[in-house]
Amino acid sequence: MDATFHDALADADLAEGQARALILNGWPVLLCRTNGAARAVINRCTHADSQLSGGRIRRGSVICPDHGAIFNLETGVCAGAAGYGPLKVFATRVMDGRIAVAVPDTAPGPGQSPVRTPRPG
């Protein structure tokens, strides 16, 4: 599946431990800064299809605000015994002070579409 980088926001506008919910090319994206790096995952928990925006960013992970599942922001893998499927992870890059996120060129499917309007991040 081909992916294209899309401009997301200024690098300076994403502080350590902060997350922003975005829609890029139709994909729900949660853009986070952890351990000094910008990371992006799908803004959709694999447990109950709820948004991850509003969840805490801690030690390289996002905690689902609805169910407490903990997902690694680099790999998408769910930590602990919960056994939920991994999150889709999107590549990021910073160029000229802007963060860009690579999302698929194809539209998201039913299990990947935005759940509802993103919560403020």
**Looking at residue 63, which CATH number applies to its domain?**
2.102.10.10
Structural domain including 12 reads: 3-104
pLDDT at residue number 3: 93
- Give the C-alpha separation, 16 to 107, whole Å: 30
Domain count, the chain: 1
| Total-model pTM | 0.91
pLDDT tier, 1 (very low <50, low <70, confident <90, very high otherwise): low
Q: Give the tens place of pLDDT for each residue, 21-68.
A: 999 999 999 999 999 999 999 999 988 788 999 999 999 999 999 888
- Give the C-alpha separation, 81 to 79, whole Å: 7
Instruction: For residue 103, give the nearest of 92, 90, 94, 93 by alpha carbon.
Output: 90
pLDDT at residue number 83: 74
Q: Does residue 109 form part of some domain?
A: no
pLDDT at residue number 117: 46
Q: Does residue 120 form part of some domain?
A: no
- Give the C-alpha separation, 49 to 17, whole Å: 23
Query: Who wins on pLDDT, 108 or 116?
Result: 108
| CB distance 85 to 78 below 8 Å | yes
Q: Does residue 44 form part of some domain?
A: yes
Q: Give the tens place of pLDDT for each residue, 54-111.
A: 999 999 999 999 888 999 999 999 987 667 899 999 999 999 999 999 999 999 988 8
Question: Given a cut of 80, is residue 120 above it in pLDDT?
Answer: no
